[in-house]
């Protein structure tokens, strides 16, 4: 609303106030302490599990491989074919019930420490703090006009976040010869 205009009046003659507020960006500060250290440890563990699982070897082959082209799933020596869908369904049902049970028993532990949403939010906050500085530096950066320094910092943040989000390379895509298990020779 322009400064020299008065707000409109309603039928009763009272002045109406605008319920619109300009968005203010929140810049969280880093948290330190015992529980934060546990979160760091669990973030590192879950990322190691996520990025390390494709590189595990089991009987000379990749331990976990979802070969969609050949319609086979290899999970620690177990080969699942399309006709084995009932076993996969059972595994998913057991996983869902386990998730429900764990959420009922220790839901806050899951949400605060191991949930992928929490893990990746924490990771991207680390990247943001590394690329743009602490919360006070980010607040200052928000108020600055776009210049080379601001573009460099925001670009570095976006680039590093994109690199992390791209995920791990498949071991079979970086090895010199394809695995005979994939049907290629």
Between 94 and 168, the higher pLDDT residue: 94
pLDDT digits (tens, 9 = 90+) for 57-79: 888 888 888 888 998 888 888 88
What's this model's pTM, rounded to 2 decimal places? 0.66
| Res. 185 pLDDT band, cuts 50 70 90 | very low
Domain chopping of the chain, boundaries: 34-166
Q: φ, ψ for residue 150 (rounded to 5)?
A: -65, -40
| Res. 9 pLDDT band, cuts 50 70 90 | low
């Amino acid at each position: 609303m322009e400064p020299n205009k008065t707000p409109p009046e309603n039928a009763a003659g009272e002045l109406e106030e605008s319920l619109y507020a300009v968005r203010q960006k929140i810049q969280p500060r880093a948290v330190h302490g015992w529980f934060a250290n546990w979160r760091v440890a669990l973030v590192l563990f879950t990322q190691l599990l996520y990025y390390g699982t494709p590189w595990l070897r089991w009987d000379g082959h990749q331990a976990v491989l979802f070969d969609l082209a050949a319609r086979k799933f290899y999970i620690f020596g177990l080969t699942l074919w399309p006709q084995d869908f009932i076993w996969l369904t059972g595994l998913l049902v057991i996983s869902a019930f386990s998730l429900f049970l764990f959420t009922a028993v220790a839901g806050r532990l899951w949400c605060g420490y191991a949930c992928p949403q929490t893990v990746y939010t924490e990771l991207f906050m680390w990247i943001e703090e590394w690329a743009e500085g602490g919360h006070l530096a980010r607040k200052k950066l928000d108020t600055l006009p776009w210049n080379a320094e601001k573009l460099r910092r925001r670009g570095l943040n976006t680039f590093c976040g994109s690199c992390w989000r791209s995920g791990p390379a498949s071991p079979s895509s970086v090895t010199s010869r394809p695995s005979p298990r994939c049907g290629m020779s």
